[in-house]
Structures are given as structure tokens and as C-alpha cells.
Structure 1
Amino acid sequence: MSDLPLVLVTVGTDYHRFDRLIEWVDRWYAETGRGRVRCVVQHGASRAPEHAEPRDFLDHVELLELMERATAVVTHAGASTIGEARRLGRLPVIVPRDPAFDEIVDGHQIDFLRRIEEKGLVASCADEKDLRARLDRLLDEPDAFRLAEGDSGAAQAAAVRRTGSLIDTLMTVRGGTSALPARAPAPAAGEPEEYPSVTVVIATRNRPELLRVALESILAQDYPGDVDCLVVHDQSEPDDTVAVDKPGRRVSVMVNTRSQGLAGARNSGILAAGGDLVAFCDDDDRWLPGKLTAQVAALRTAPDAGLACCGIRVLYDDTKVDRALDRREVTFTDLLYSRLTELHPSTFLLRRDALVDRIGLVSEEVPGSHGEDYEFLLRAARDHAIVNVPEVHVEVLWHKQSYFAQRWRVIADALAWLLERFPEFRLAPAGYGRIAGQVAFAEAASGRRRSALRWARRTVRANWREPRAYLTVAVACRLIKADRIVRFLHRRGRGI
């Protein structure tokens, strides 16, 4: 039996039954395929097949092994499974789950299949007759569902997953359900055989005392691998006295060679970095013990992920507020709904190849460089889910007079630019309303009352529960000052 062509059928782990597909495949196998193919059916919560080889669940490694050996992969319209099948050189045969048969809560698989079928990325089946025709063809043409060489690249698989994510976002919004994922398991224990080298990019401008504190916290990390710090001076004279050259720990000094500002300085450091991993740390923040070790361990559990983050401790005036996400994965959809301030740039740890080849450098186009970290997070999560360590490992200093505190017009322009850059916000009204509300508030704080009220109306149309719309009206009508609201929120570890 092991020499026979393998037909792999998988319906995932959804709690809804997909008996229709199982019955169609089982009937074909009993009447036509028995003795000519081996048919493995991962049926999940559905009824087990009577004739084909039943498996309730497959772990991810076994699923990929069977998929790689399979002559044909038959599955539902799940973006992840389709992407993996194409990555392994198989043209997936798809039967979408249909809400009319209680196989799923909504029609997003049908919508998703329609989009990717137009691009020739799958072989779809509308009914049992179509499925039988596909499988009958397999008996005469064993290579019928193998992709041509060069047609199964990771870029296409990633595109399938991104399209599926956007469809999921749209259907989630329509259904009014939460888009946040369930908590993922903690990374497995164990020491890595080799520790990747890390380059830490620290952009700085005339803050020597704070810079030295940041450097000390990085050099004191218990991480066994090599750690190099690149201090990038932006619009200021380089300070060579901070340079260090010790076994496993090094500090080098350079100047920003790109556009002025934080984004250009970070990119200068990224392009000069020689480590396997690249990390950011602001010159006024501090890493807590164990930060690097925990994040490298987390990245090892997700080899396709490009970025890892962790929790932060916000220091403002005489208050301390811990902020950490109680989950180990953050998706693009999550970031459409919320900025998730816990994902601070001083927590970023990236695979350099993913950063340079897939995610891209920090955008230097963002007006005033305001929110460039959020724009970067969105691109990173669009590429692959972000890995998160749910413990606090970084202290972040919020100043009473931060660099952008009085630059309300720049803030408004930057956020409006972000909405144009990511049209996907239109699929998430609550997320769109949040940013539109921030634009409205910034316009009100800058004294542009008419524009502020116009943005407030957009905010309410997107999400009438968004409080920033009503704060905008209060500021625009001079019932309260914007700075007073910001200070109140900062004392609680929040921002507008």
C-alpha cells in the first residue's frame, strides 16, 4: 500500500462538522480508488470515513510530511493549508465549507475561494461530481496536481495566507466577533546548540546620560551569544567614548547616513548590522535581565516568523505601569483593530534576512516619522504573525514633554497617511474609527476646529463607541485642554 499514490484529505481543526466532503471522498474511494490509491482522511470533528484511512487529527509535522508525499491534497478553503500545499508543490483540490450546511459560521471560505480561484492558485470543486472528476483524473495522470517547477514559491503561499487573512477580517467585522486569537502554548524548554549573533541598533540624539544607561542594560544581558551595539548619532556629533570591544560584547559608533530622523537612523544601523538578528532600543529605554534569551527562545518556536516582541514597563513621572499581552502571537488583523502599545520598538527583535528581504526597512516616508513603528508592525504582521513574549522585559521612559507632544499637526498628517497606506483599515471599522479619532483629536489640539469636527464625524460613522470622537468635541469646544487629557492617560500608561 505504501507504493500506491497518496491522496491526503484534511479538514483542519474547526469544531464544525464537514461530513459532506468526507462522504464524497469515501464514496469515491470505495467505488473507484480502492486498490489504486492510498487515501488518508484527517476528519477532525466530522464523521470518520468507513473505507479510507481515518485520522482524527495530525500534528503539524506529520501533516507536512504527508502533504509532501501526497499526489493530491484535498482540503477546505483554509488559507494556511492552501499556502502550505502550494509551498510543497501541490495544486490543492478545494471544497469550501458552506454555512448553509452548518459547516462554518459564515461564507468567508466561499469568498476566499472565489478570489484565489481567479488567479489559478487552486482546483475548486462545486459539488461531488466535480470532486470525482478531479480524483478520476488523478488515476490517469498521477502528476495532474503537481505544480510546475517555479510555480510553488513562498511568495505565492504567503499571498494566499494574506488574502485569507483579509477575508477573515472582513467576515469577522460583519459577524461582530473578536478577531483576537486564543492563547498559544509556551515555547518548549531546551537550550539551543548555537546562539545567533545579535546587533542592537540604538538611534540617539544628544542624550548621553540616558544612552549610557541603555547600553549598560544591553551589555549586561545573560544571553550567551555575541551582542554588538551600533549607536547611530542623528543630527549630533558622535561620542566615541561609549565604544566597547570585549569578547562577546561590542559597542560601535556611527552617524546617520540616510534621511534625518529616527527612521533614517535606524535604517543606517540595519544596513550596517552584521548579526543574524537585529534589535532596536531607544536611547532612553532599558532592557531588563533575560530579555534577549527569552525572545530568541520564542523565535526558535516559530521559524517562519520575522519579529518577536515582549511586554513593557512604562515609567512616567513617578508612576510605573506594566503592560504585557497575554498571548504568544499577534496577527495583522489584531493590529488593524488596535495599536497594541505593548509592542514597543525597544522590544523588537528581528531576523535580519526577514527584515531586509521580506518586511523592508523602517519607512522614511511617514510624515514627521510619527507612528513609523506602527507602520512597521503592520508590514511585519502582514508578512507573518509576530511572536510575543508575554512577560515584561523592557522599561520604557515616557517624558512629560515627549518629542511629538506639541506636534499635533504632524501627528494628524502622519495618521491620515497611515489610513491611506493601509486600505485594509476599511475592513475593520473599529480600527479605522480609532485612528480617525486620533486624527480628529490632533486636529482639535492644533486649533483646526473645522477639520477636527469633520474627522470626528468620520470616527462616529465608523464606530460610534469610539471615545476619541467625543474627546475631540470637548477639546474643539475648549471645554478641556488636550495636554491635560494626554497627561491623565500617560499617568496610567496609556496614550491618546
Structure 2
Amino acid sequence: MTYAPEVSVVIPTRSRPDLVTRAVSGVLAQTMDDLEVIVVVDGPDEGTVTALAAIPDHRLRVLVQPSKGGAPHARNTGARAARGRWTAMLDDDDEWLPAKLEVQLKLAYSARAATPIVASRLFNRTPRAESVMPRRLPGPDEPVSEYLTVRRGLFYGDGFIQTSTILAPAELFHRVPFTVGLRRQQELDWTLRAVRHDDVELVVAPDPLVIWHQDEDRERISLEMPWRQQLEWLQRSRDLFTPRAYAAFTMSVLSSMAAPTRSPKVFGELLREARTHGRPGAIDYLTFLQIWGLPPEVRHRLRDRVLGRGRTNRADAAR
């Protein structure tokens, strides 16, 4: 009989052996040990396979894809191979705090819905500063699309979800796979499609349980700015957003990607998109104008000054 752990952890990776071994070590050090770790290597990668082979733990499984298919495809592969009742996602460049799974499972088993998505706050760590996100939890009966997109201040992170925080029943990842080929907003796309099902509920743990490493001196998908492709995804996905959320996403996240073009034509295009298909609020207009009016490095320094913490911080203490 095949052993079925309580939790399967899926980690997609490629050509980052040092980072993925750090991620795996954090999973194997969890305060609950009834788990398996499935590392999906996205294409032939001898260095990563060799590094993982040096980890002497029977709970680790390594699956090597025959060719590169991207992180969403690798996550789907891992989810299909998972044997646990619950599946948790972890990006190879992030870390979990030791009680992450234990805390989330308690919330999962006490959730109202039959199929809870349990996320958590995280420590957002950049080379300059650190902050805790999301800054607030979902309100009662608040549409998930609005919680994840509508700002209450000028900086992102009021409501937020990131892949490495997500734990859900294994069957939900079979029912709602990640969208293959989507470069950005993969977790937002997945969450909004999942919560459309009547039995699904989003729950956010109030404590930060993940360290989200935003190292800006190395290649990361989240540093890419494919605004045109993101606009096409947004237009295909209008039914996932309320009008308020649609305008907020267009005037904040999408505008942040497009603003480096400094193009008046693009400025007007996105403003029309938000006004025609969404319902902007005053904060959306303020956000839109500061994104287009201030250089990204100025906005980042201002955000870090207002929201950030120093490098000696609570995440190190928590670990």
C-alpha cells in the first residue's frame, strides 16, 4: 500500500541548486513531519539533481521534466504526483518558518468551507528593507478579487497572496490547475479561478509564516514587465474581477509594469481600460498618477521608508 502523508509540498526549480536546497531544508525542518517534498526540476539540470541527491531524507522525491515547461506546468506535475491529503506550494527561492504547516493545518481543519485555501502573511524581504504583507486580512463577505487588488493606501500589499503561502486540499489543484504559459500573477489567477467554486473559501493566517526573498540582483520572473501580455490576460479574465477590482488592478499592478515605457499612448490606453470596464475609486487615480509620475526607484525608496524595516528583523528572530 502506498504511504499517504498528510501534506505534499511541491517545489518547482531550475538551475538554482543552492536556493532549492535551502527551500527543501526549511520544509524538512517543519514542526510537523508527516509530509513529503516533491521537487519538480523543470528540464534536464544535472547540478540541481546532484545537489538534491545529497539530502538524506526519504521524504524527498525529485521529478525531472524531459524539457522546460515553466513553473505553472511544473507545479501541475507535482500536484498530480502528490500523495497527501493537502498540497502546499513553495517557490525555490523562498523559505518557510518552522511552524508554517502546523499553523495552516489548524486553520484548514477549522475552516467553514469544505475546500479551504489557506494562505498566510509573509516577510517581504528586499536588499533594502523588510515589511510584512498583506497588511490586512480579508473582511467579512469581501470579494476576494477586491481583497487582493484594491489598495487602501498608495503602496501595494494591503491584500495579497503569494504562491509560497498557499496550502489547499490536493483535489483542488486537480480541479483547478495553474495556467500554463502565464508569466506573471500566477497565484492571483489561480486563486480567483478557485474561489469561483461554491465550496472554496480563502483563509489567511494572521502571522507571517514565509520569507519572500525579492533579491533584485538575480533573474526572477517577478522582475519582468510583460505589460502587454498581462493586459491580454486581464481582458480574458474580466469575469474573475468585480468592476472595482478590475480598475484597481489595471491602475496599479498593470500600470507598474507599463509605466517604464513613459508612453502617453499607453497611459491613455490603460486609463480607458480601467474606466470602460471597471469602476475606479479616488485611491486608484492617485495610485495611477504616482506610478506614472515617479520613477520606479523613487517609488521603491519611498515605499521602503514608509513600510519597511531594517535587515535585523522579526524574521530572523522567528527562525
Q: TM-score by structure 1 length? A: 0.52
Amino acid corresponding to residue 129 of structure 2 in structure 1: T
Alignment of 1:150-299 (within 5 A): 197-225=6-34, 227-237=35-45, 238-243=48-53, 244=55, 246=57, 250-256=59-65, 260-299=69-108
Amino acid corresponding to residue 264 of structure 1 in structure 2: H
Partner Cα distance (2:141, 2:38) in 1: 30
**Deviation, structure 1 residue 327:** 4.3
Q: Report the CA distance shift for 1:258/1:236 in structure 2 as closer, same or farther (over 3 A).
A: closer
Partner Cα distance (1:483, 1:356) in 2: 40
**2:262 equivalent to 1:452:** no
SS in 2 for 1:335: helix
Partner Cα distance (2:14, 2:68) in 1: 14
Q: Larger C-alpha radius of gyration, 1 or 2?
A: 1
Residue pair 1:328, 1:389 contacting (<8 A) in 2 also: no
Partner Cα distance (1:379, 1:240) in 2: 37
Could you report, residue by residue, the CA deviation over 1:346-369 in whole angstroms, capped at 9, with x for unpaired residues? Answer: 011111122213xx1111142xx2
Partner Cα distance (1:309, 1:432) in 2: 22
**2:215 equivalent to 1:396:** no
SS in 1 for 2:234: helix
Could you report, residue by residue, the CA deviation over 1:23-61 in whole angstroms, capped at 9, with x for unpaired residues? Answer: xxxxxxxxxxxxxxxxxxxxxxxxxxxxxxxxxxxxxxx
Q: Report the CA distance shift for 1:206/1:218 in structure 2 as closer, same or farther (over 3 A).
A: same
SS in 2 for 1:463: coil
Partner Cα distance (1:334, 1:350) in 2: 16
Partner residue in 1 for 2:201: 385
Alignment of 1:93-492 (within 5 A): 197-225=6-34, 227-237=35-45, 238-243=48-53, 244=55, 246=57, 250-256=59-65, 260-302=69-111, 304-324=114-134, 327=137, 333-339=143-149, 342-357=160-175, 360-366=176-182, 369-383=183-197, 384-401=200-217, 403-404=220-221, 407-408=224-225, 410-425=226-241, 427-429=242-244, 431-437=245-251, 438-459=253-274, 462-465=279-282, 466=284, 467-474=286-293, 480-486=294-300, 488-489=302-303, 492=307
SS in 1 for 2:209: strand
**Deviation, structure 1 residue 272:** 1.6
Partner Cα distance (1:400, 1:439) in 2: 19
**Deviation, structure 1 residue 263:** 0.8
Q: Any gaps of 5 or more consecutive residues in structure 1?
A: 1-194, 475-479
Amino acid corresponding to residue 468 of structure 1 in structure 2: T
**Deviation, structure 1 residue 289:** 1.6
**Deviation, structure 1 residue 418:** 2.4
- Taking every aligned residue pair, what percent have the same amino acid on both sides? 22
Partner Cα distance (1:266, 1:290) in 2: 23
**Deviation, structure 1 residue 280:** 0.8
**Deviation, structure 1 residue 447:** 4.5
Could you report, residue by residue, the CA deviation over 1:429-481 in whole angstroms, capped at 9, with x for unpaired residues? Answer: 2x12212213334233135431222212444673252133213542xxxxx43
Residue pair 2:5, 2:83 contacting (<8 A) in 1 also: no
> Greater relative contact order: 1 or 2 (C-alpha under 8 angstroms, separation 6 or more)?
2
Partner Cα distance (2:7, 2:273) in 1: 44
**Deviation, structure 1 residue 236:** 5.0
Q: Report the CA distance shift for 1:405/1:346 in structure 2 as closer, same or farther (over 3 A).
A: closer
SS in 1 for 2:164: helix
Partner Cα distance (1:434, 1:240) in 2: 45
Partner Cα distance (1:378, 1:291) in 2: 23
Could you report, residue by residue, the CA deviation over 1:180-203 in whole angstroms, capped at 9, with x for unpaired residues? Answer: xxxxxxxxxxxxxxx952111111
Could you report, residue by residue, the CA deviation over 1:389-435 in whole angstroms, capped at 9, with x for unpaired residues? Answer: 11111111012245246632x1342244124213253x432x12212
Could you report, residue by residue, the CA deviation over 1:194-225 in whole angstroms, capped at 9, with x for unpaired residues? Answer: x9521111111222222222111110111142
Partner residue in 2 for 1:21: none
Residue pair 1:198, 1:278 contacting (<8 A) in 2 also: yes
Partner Cα distance (2:122, 2:65) in 1: 27
Q: TM-score by structure 2 length? A: 0.78
Could you report, residue by residue, the CA deviation over 1:284-305 in whole angstroms, capped at 9, with x for unpaired residues? Answer: 1111021111111111112602
Residue pair 2:42, 2:64 contacting (<8 A) in 1 also: yes
Residue pair 1:456, 1:472 contacting (<8 A) in 2 also: no
Partner residue in 1 for 2:315: none
Q: Report the CA distance shift for 1:224/1:211 in structure 2 as closer, same or farther (over 3 A).
A: closer
Partner Cα distance (2:301, 2:260) in 1: 14
Residue pair 2:135, 2:159 contacting (<8 A) in 1 also: no
Could you report, residue by residue, the CA deviation over 1:326-349 in whole angstroms, capped at 9, with x for unpaired residues? Answer: 547886713235336542210111
Alignment of 1:30-49 (within 5 A): none
Residue pair 1:336, 1:428 contacting (<8 A) in 2 also: no
Partner residue in 2 for 1:89: none
Residue pair 2:21, 2:51 contacting (<8 A) in 1 also: no
